[in-house]
C-alpha cells in the first residue's frame, strides 16, 4: 500500500506480530467484494431472500508457512454506515461479527482482541469451508426459503445497496492478519463477486524500524550491496521517510552503482513458491535531493531484482533519461522515472518464475532455507546523475503459475527455426540485430575489465553461428585472461505491423526461451535473456549467472539451472541438456509509476498497422558473457548456448 494514501475504502492488510518472513504469520490474499442478491432465490414469487451461499472458499484466500490452512481461524468485524446507528447488517455462516461499528473496531486496534486470536465463538471456518453471507436486516433469522420477507424500502434499501466494509481476520492461534472487503445488498439483483487477486503477500516491509546491517555477509535485516559506502554512492537509512536510501554524487570519471538487498532472514522461503507459483516483488520508490529537482536527467537510473541467491536473477532496469537520444525519446524515459513525493512513491514490479532445481529444496546455513531475495539499486552511468533514490516499502509474495498459463494468453507469437535455416531466429539486419561480439582483457575476478581488443578470426574470440538447429553463442575459444561477450538482438523479424507486440496498460508479457548446450553446465558461463521496450530503456532480464561465480550454494544453483550436460531444470522436453527459461516483463504504462504518461500513450499501440516503428514495441535478445564472475575459479568458465525457439505471451496483469 502507498504510504499516506490509506482511506476507509482501501483494502488494508495488517500483519500483527509479523516481524520477519520466518515468523510464519498467516497472510490473506485479496478477497473479492461481495454482492448479496435475491433474484436467484425468487421462484415464482419475490420472497426477498438475501443470502449468498458458498460465495468463496476460505482456504483459497489464506496461507501460513507453518499452519495448515484448513486449521486457520476466521472471524469478522463490521464497520459503521455513516448516518445510521451501529447495528449488525450481515452474518457469515450464521455467525455474527465480533465487533460492530468503527468505535468498537478502533478499540480493538492495532492489536486484535482474544476473540480474533483464539475465538471461542463467532468462528467461521469451523462452520463451513465456504463463506455464506446473509443480510440479517432484510432476511432476519436463519431460515431458508420459501418464507417471504418484506421488500426492502428506503432509506435502508439505498444504504444497503451502497454497502458496508467488513474486516476479515485469520489467526493461527498466535498471529493475526486482516483484510477488508465491501459487502452490499441489491434488491432483485444476483449474487456476485467482484475484484480480488490471486497474489499472496509473504512479507510487506514498511521500514518503520531501521534494520540496516552493514556487516559484510550479514544474514539479518537489509544489507547494502556495497557496505563500504565508497565515495559517490552512499547507503543509509532515512528515518524521516522510513526508507532505505542510496545517495549518488555527480562524477564524470566513474559509474556509481549501489543499493540494498534483503539478507537471509528476509528471503521469501522457496517452499512458499515451489513449482506451482511465480514470485513477485513490489518496490515503492521515490527520488529526492537532485541539485535541480526539475532536471529529470539528473535522476539516477534504477534496477530492481528478485533472485535465487545471485545465481538466477530477474532484473528490471529502468533508464529514466537518455540525453543523447533527443527530445522525443527523452520524454518517454522521463515517464518511467520515480515520483518525487515520499507519500506517493512509484511502484515497480518484478516477477520471477524460479528455476526449480533440486538445490532450492536444500536447507543451507540453518535456520535459513533457500529462498527469493529482493534488491534495488541506483544505477548511475552518467556524470550528471546525483541525489537520492529511496525505497519506502517493499512487498514480496507469489501468485499461481496458472494465472499466466499459455491457454489464458490474450495474444501469442512463436519464433522458431525452419527445416533449412534458423528461420524466424536468423539475422535479418546485421546492423540492428547483430550478432555483436566483443573481447576485452580481463584484469581479475569480478568483472575487472581492461582494454577492448579488436578480435581477429581464430584469435580466441567468442563466436556466433546459425543453422536449422538454432543460433549458437560460444565462448570455448576465449582465453582465461579475456572477457568475451556475444549479444544477439531480435528486432527486425516482426511480421506484419498489426502482429507486433506493443506494451499496453494492465498487461504483462512472458518470453519463453528454449535453450540447450553441448558443454558442461557446471563450467558454463553466464546466460542472459532479455525483453525490452521504449527502445532499450525499459528492460527485463533473466540472468543465469556463471557456474563458478561465487560460493558453493550459489554455484550449485547456477550449475543445475544452466543449460548443458548436468542441467537439472525440470522445465524441458525429455532428457535434453537444457530447457525452458521464462522472462516476465510488466508494461511500463502504469499509473503506479507516473500518474500521467501522455508521451507513451501517444505512441502507436497494439494492432496499429500504419507505422513500422513504435517505441511501445516489445523486443527480445539473448547474450553470453564469459567471464564476469567474482570467485577465484572464474577462469574455468566457458561453453556454449543454443537457442531454437522463443514464444511470447500477452496476459492480463495479475492483480496485487
The CA radius of gyration of the chain, in Å to the nearest whole number, is 27
Burial 294-330 (b: 16+ CB within 10 A, else e): eebbbbbbbbbbbbbbbbbbbbbbbbbbbeeeeeebb
- In this prediction, residue 165 carries a pLDDT of 95
Say whether pLDDT at 589 is over 50. yes
Q: What is the mean pLDDT of the chain?
A: 90
Evaluated on CA atoms 624, 626, 630, 631, the torsion sign reads positive
Rounded to whole angstroms, the Cα distance separating 598 from 432 reads 28
- In this prediction, residue 492 carries a pLDDT of 66
**Average pLDDT rounded to a whole number, residues 610-621:** 88
Which position has the higher pLDDT, 459 or 107?
A: 107
471 near 426, Cβ under 8 Å?
yes
Rounded to whole angstroms, the Cα distance separating 93 from 127 reads 6
604 near 525, Cβ under 8 Å?
no
User: Mapping DSSP to helix (H, G, I), strand (E, B) and coil, where does residue 229 land?
Assistant: coil
Alpha carbon 605 to chain centroid, angstroms = 24
pTM: 0.75
Say whether pLDDT at 28 is over 90. no
Rounded to whole angstroms, the Cα distance separating 586 from 628 reads 28
Number of other CB atoms surrounding residue 158 within 10 Å: 11
Rounded to whole angstroms, the Cα distance separating 255 from 303 reads 14
**Average pLDDT rounded to a whole number, residues 302-306:** 98
235 near 260, Cβ under 8 Å?
yes
638 near 527, Cβ under 8 Å?
no
Reported as a pLDDT band with limits 50, 70 and 90, residue 495 is low
Rounded to whole angstroms, the Cα distance separating 281 from 19 reads 18
- In this prediction, residue 444 carries a pLDDT of 67
Number of other CB atoms surrounding residue 68 within 10 Å: 9
For the record, the C-alpha cell of 511 comes out as 518470453
Q: In this structure, what is the dihedral angle of CA atoms 27, 32, 33, 36, given to the nearest 10 degrees?
A: -120
Burial 566-582 (b: 16+ CB within 10 A, else e): bbbbeebeeeebbbbbb
- In this prediction, residue 156 carries a pLDDT of 96
Beta-carbon contacts of 454 under 8 Å, excluding residues fewer than 6 positions away, are: none
Say whether pLDDT at 11 is over 60. no
268 near 371, Cβ under 8 Å?
yes
Strands (E), 17-72: 27-28, 33-37, 51-57, 62-63
Q: Which CATH class is domain 205-402?
A: mainly beta
Say whether pLDDT at 4 is over 60. no
* DSSP β-bridge partners for residue 394: 205, 283
Rounded to whole angstroms, the Cα distance separating 13 from 378 reads 29
- In this prediction, residue 200 carries a pLDDT of 84
Alpha carbon 60 to chain centroid, angstroms = 20
Reported as a pLDDT band with limits 50, 70 and 90, residue 134 is very high
Which position has the higher pLDDT, 202 or 628?
A: 202
Highest mean pLDDT among 53-57, 351-355, 403-407, 410-414: 351-355
Reported as a pLDDT band with limits 50, 70 and 90, residue 458 is low
**Average pLDDT rounded to a whole number, residues 288-317:** 97
DSSP 8-state symbol, 12? -
Number of other CB atoms surrounding residue 283 within 10 Å: 25
- In this prediction, residue 41 carries a pLDDT of 81
Rounded to whole angstroms, the Cα distance separating 353 from 585 reads 11
For the record, the C-alpha cell of 450 comes out as 581492461
User: Mapping DSSP to helix (H, G, I), strand (E, B) and coil, where does residue 588 land?
Assistant: coil
145 near 49, Cβ under 8 Å?
yes
Left (φ > 0), alpha (ψ -120 to 50) or beta: where does 558 sit? alpha
**Average pLDDT rounded to a whole number, residues 376-403:** 94
* DSSP β-bridge partners for residue 349: 282
Of 396-400, 459-463, 573-577, least confident by mean pLDDT is 459-463
**Average pLDDT rounded to a whole number, residues 170-183:** 93
Alpha carbon 109 to chain centroid, angstroms = 30
Of 14-18, 109-113, 182-186, least confident by mean pLDDT is 14-18
134 near 50, Cβ under 8 Å?
yes
User: Mapping DSSP to helix (H, G, I), strand (E, B) and coil, where does residue 494 land?
Assistant: coil
Number of other CB atoms surrounding residue 82 within 10 Å: 9
For the record, the C-alpha cell of 368 comes out as 535459513
- In this prediction, residue 446 carries a pLDDT of 62
Say whether pLDDT at 584 is over 90. yes
For the record, the C-alpha cell of 569 comes out as 531444470
Rounded to whole angstroms, the Cα distance separating 286 from 243 reads 9
- In this prediction, residue 303 carries a pLDDT of 98
Where, residue-wise, is CATH 2.60.120.260 in the chain?
205-402
Amino acid at each position: 500500500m502507498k504510504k499516506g494514501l490509506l482511506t476507509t475504502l482501501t483494502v488494508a492488510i495488517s500483519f500483527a506480530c509479523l516481524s520477519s518472513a520466518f515468523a510464519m504469520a498467516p497472510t490473506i490474499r485479496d478477497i473479492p467484494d461481495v454482492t448479496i442478491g435475491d433474484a436467484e432465490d425468487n421462484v415464482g414469487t419475490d420472497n426477498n431472500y438475501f443470502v449468498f451461499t458458498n460465495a468463496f472458499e476460505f482456504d483459497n484466500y489464506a496461507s501460513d508457512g507453518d499452519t495448515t490452512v484448513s486449521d486457520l481461524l476466521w472471524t469478522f468485524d463490521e464497520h459503521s454506515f455513516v448516518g445510521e446507528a451501529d447495528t449488525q447488517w450481515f452474518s457469515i455462516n450464521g455467525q455474527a461479527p465480533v465487533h460492530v461499528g468503527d468505535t468498537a473496531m478502533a478499540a480493538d486496534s492495532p492489536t486484535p482482541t482474544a476473540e480474533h486470536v483464539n475465538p471461542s465463538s463467532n468462528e467461521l471456518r469451523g462452520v463451513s469451508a465456504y463463506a455464506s453471507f446473509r443480510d440479517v436486516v432484510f432476511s432476519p433469522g436463519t431460515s431458508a426459503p420459501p418464507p417471504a420477507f418484506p421488500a426492502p424500502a428506503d432509506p435502508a434499501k439505498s444504504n444497503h445497496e451502497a454497502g458496508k466494509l467488513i474486516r476479515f481476520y485469520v489467526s493461527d492461534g498466535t498471529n493475526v492478519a486482516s483484510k477488508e472487503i465491501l459487502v452490499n445488498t441489491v434488491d432483485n439483483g444476483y449474487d456476485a463477486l467482484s475484484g480480488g487477486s490471486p497474489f499472496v503477500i509473504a512479507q510487506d516491509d514498511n521500514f518503520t524500524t531501521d534494520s540496516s546491517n552493514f556487516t559484510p555477509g550479514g544474514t539479518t535485516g537489509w544489507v547494502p550491496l556495497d557496505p563500504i559506502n565508497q565515495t559517490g554512492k552512499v547507503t543509509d537509512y532515512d528515518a524521516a521517510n522510513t526508507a532505505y536510501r542510496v545517495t549518488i554524487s555527480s562524477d564524470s570519471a566513474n559509474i556509481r552503482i549501489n543499493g540494498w538487498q534483503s539478507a537471509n532472514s528476509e528471503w521469501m522461503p522457496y517452499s512458499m513458491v515451489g513449482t506451482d507459483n511465480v514470485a513477485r516483488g513490489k518496490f515503492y520508490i521515490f527520488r529526492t535531493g537532485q541539485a535541480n529537482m526539475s532536471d529529470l536527467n539528473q535522476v539516477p537510473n534504477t534496477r530492481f531484482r528478485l533472485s535465487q541467491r545471485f545465481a538466477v536473477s530477474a532484473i528490471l532496469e529502468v533508464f529514466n533519461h537518455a540525453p543523447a537520444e533527443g527530445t522525443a525519446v527523452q520524454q518517454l524515459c522521463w515517464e518511467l522515472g520515480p515520483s518525487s513525493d515520499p507519500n506517493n512513491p512509484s511502484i515497480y514490479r518484478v516477477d520471477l518464475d524460479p528455476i526449480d532445481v533440486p538445490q532450492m529444496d536444500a536447507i543451507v546455513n540453518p535456520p535459513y532455507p533457500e529462498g527469493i531475495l529482493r534488491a534495488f539499486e541506483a544505477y548511475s552511468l552518467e556524470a550528471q546523475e546525483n541525489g537520492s533514490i529511496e525505497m519506502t516499502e517493499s512487498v514480496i509474495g507469489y501468485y499461481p503459475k496458472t494465472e499466466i498459463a499459455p491457454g489464458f494468453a490474450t495474444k501469442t507469437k512463436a519464433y522458431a527455426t525452419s527445416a533449412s535455416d534458423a528461420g524466424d531466429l536468423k539475422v535479418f539486419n546485421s546492423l540492428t540485430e547483430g550478432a555483436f561480439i566483443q573481447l576485452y582483457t580481463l584484469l581479475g575476478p569480478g568483472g575487472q575489465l581492461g582494454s577492448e581488443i579488436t578480435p581477429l578470426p581464430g584469435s580466441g574470440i567468442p563466436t556466433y553461428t546459425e543453422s536449422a538447429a538454432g543460433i549458437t553463442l560460444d565462448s570455448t575459444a576465449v582465453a582465461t585472461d579475456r572477457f568475451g561477450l556475444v549479444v544477439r538482438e531480435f528486432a527486425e523479424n516482426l511480421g506484419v505491423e498489426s502482429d507486433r507486440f506493443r506494451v499496453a496498460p494492465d498487461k504483462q508479457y512472458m518470453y519463453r526461451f528454449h535453450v540447450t548446450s553441448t558443454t558442461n553446465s557446471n563450467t558454463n558461463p553466464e546466460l542472459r535473456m532479455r525483453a525490452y521496450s521504449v527502445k532499450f530503456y525499459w528492460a527485463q532480464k533473466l540472468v543465469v549467472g556463471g557456474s563458478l561465480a561465487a560460493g558453493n550454494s550459489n554455484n550449485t544453483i547456477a550449475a543445475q539451472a544452466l543449460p548443458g550436460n548436468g542441467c537439472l531444470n525440470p522445465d524441458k522436453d525429455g532428457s535434453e541438456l537444457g530447457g525452458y527459461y521464462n522472462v516476465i516483463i510488466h508494461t511500463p504504462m502504469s499509473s503506479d509509476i507516473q500518474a500521467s504518461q501522455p508521451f507513451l500513450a501517444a505512441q502507436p499501440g497494439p494492432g496499429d498497422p500504419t507505422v513500422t516503428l513504435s517505441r511501445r514495441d516489445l523486443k527480445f535478445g539473448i547474450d553470453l558473457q564469459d567471464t564476469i564472475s567474482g570467485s577465484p575459479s572464474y577462469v574455468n568458465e566457458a561453453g556454449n548456448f543454443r537457442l531454437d525457439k522463443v514464444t511470447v505471451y500477452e496476459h492480463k496483469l495479475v492483480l496485487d
